[in-house]
Amino acid sequence: MKFSLSFYSFFMWLSSLMASFAFISCSFSSEAEMMSTKELVDSVSIFAADPTIFEDNGVYYLYGTDGAQPDHGFRVYRSTNLTDWEGSVGVNNGFALVKDDVFGDKGFWAPQVWKEGNTYYMAYTANENIAIAQSASPLGPFTQQQQVPIITEGKQIDPFIYQDEDGRKYLYHVKLQNGNRIFVAELNDDYGSIKAGTLVEILDASLPWENTDNVSWPVAEGPTVIKRDDKYYLFYSANDFRNPYYAVGMAVADQPTGPWIKVGNEALLSVDHTNWPGTGHGDVFRANNQWLYVCHTHNSTTAVGPRRTAIVPFEWETENEDGVKVPVFSGSDIRFLMVEN
């Protein structure tokens, strides 16, 4: 989740504040001391929450919820090796998308970028709704001819578009409905709307690690879907983003619409693996035959934002009792992304 003033924030604020205090003062004092020695130079750190990395012709492009101007649009950063980053390099003063060109005027969160033919697409959240913009370049400008959201009823965030091998397109997203719950719907080919009768809920926060404070508005969000070995894998994050135990889990299915079965009863990536609170909400990609997860963490042990952007490597090293491959994250190898001086 992002810095929202939506209707459920009241329920989350107090419990998240208490959890953060407990985290800082007691439970992980030794980890906090370790992290204090790893403080980064803010002048060159990238602060893009809910990040995604898109590769095009050997160049990697990074987008995310902007740490400084989340109500303006999305910046883009560029790298050829995932280590040396330049930016922001978007055509509009560093931004690839600005609010004057698209639907929405606040709360630009959780973008996803992909390419079809010569056209680049960006799915994103604004005003707690979802829209898709287009551009001739990954640097922007991303625009919309009709500045409207895909779904007009209710509130929904965190889009992820997945196109299956049969050409069908699916919109995974989060509906704000008695909690943050993950849904999927089949998209029409023009990306303008979802197909009637296809919207279905697929996952909510029901395990203990997904709601560590037992709040009345549980959070499951940030879906990313890949297909591997004829199975569909959904990476997601749970707990409120301000909670230091915000973390990553995974579910698996035989079909894009499920049913989705959660893998294990514990988080696969969390502060327990990285020593950085608030590790989560990212995207999966590969580079040089290495699986990677780009995500965000809290700024420090005492401040949530602006959230830092990082990459964590993982491998499919283990298999559970159901024969499902399970990713093993190398949390100690977390690497924060920096802009070149």
In a domain, 1, yes or no: no
In a domain, 260, yes or no: yes
Interval 265-293 mean pLDDT? 97
At residue 60 the predicted structure's pLDDT band, cuts being 50, 70 and 90, is very high
What is the structure's pLDDT at 87? 87
User: Per the structure, how many domains does the chain have?
Assistant: 1
Query: Which has the higher per-residue pLDDT, 87 or 258?
Result: 258
* Residues marked as catalytic: 50, 221
Q: Structure pTM?
A: 0.89
Output the 3-class SS for 269-325.
ECHHHHCCCCCEEEEEEEECCEEEEEEEECCCCCCCCCCEEEEEEEEEEEECCCCCE
Task: Using the predicted structure, report yes or no on whether residue 30 has a pLDDT greater than 80.
Answer: no
> How far apart (Å, rounded) are the C-alpha atoms in residues 171 and 184?
5
In a domain, 148, yes or no: yes
The token duo for 89 is 């390099």
Please name the residue that has the structure tokens 């020593």. 275
Domain that holds residue 136: 9-336
CATH assignment at residue 192: 2.115.10.20
Q: Calculate the average pLDDT of the chain.
A: 90
C-beta of residue 180 within 8 angstroms of C-beta of residue 1? yes
CA angle 127, 128, 133 (to 5 degrees): 70
> How far apart (Å, rounded) are the C-alpha atoms in residues 166 and 168?
6
In a domain, 4, yes or no: no
Interval 109-115 mean pLDDT? 98
In a domain, 326, yes or no: yes
At residue 100 the predicted structure's pLDDT band, cuts being 50, 70 and 90, is very high
Burial of residue 91 (CB within 10 Å: 0-12, 13-18, 19+) is: middle
Q: pLDDT of 181-191, one tens digit each?
A: 999 999 999 99
What is the structure's pLDDT at 318? 77
In a domain, 341, yes or no: no
Q: pLDDT of 165-221, one tens digit each?
A: 999 999 999 999 999 999 999 999 999 999 999 999 999 999 999 999 999 999 999
In a domain, 45, yes or no: yes
In a domain, 2, yes or no: no
The token duo for 316 is 């499919």
Interval 15-33 mean pLDDT? 46
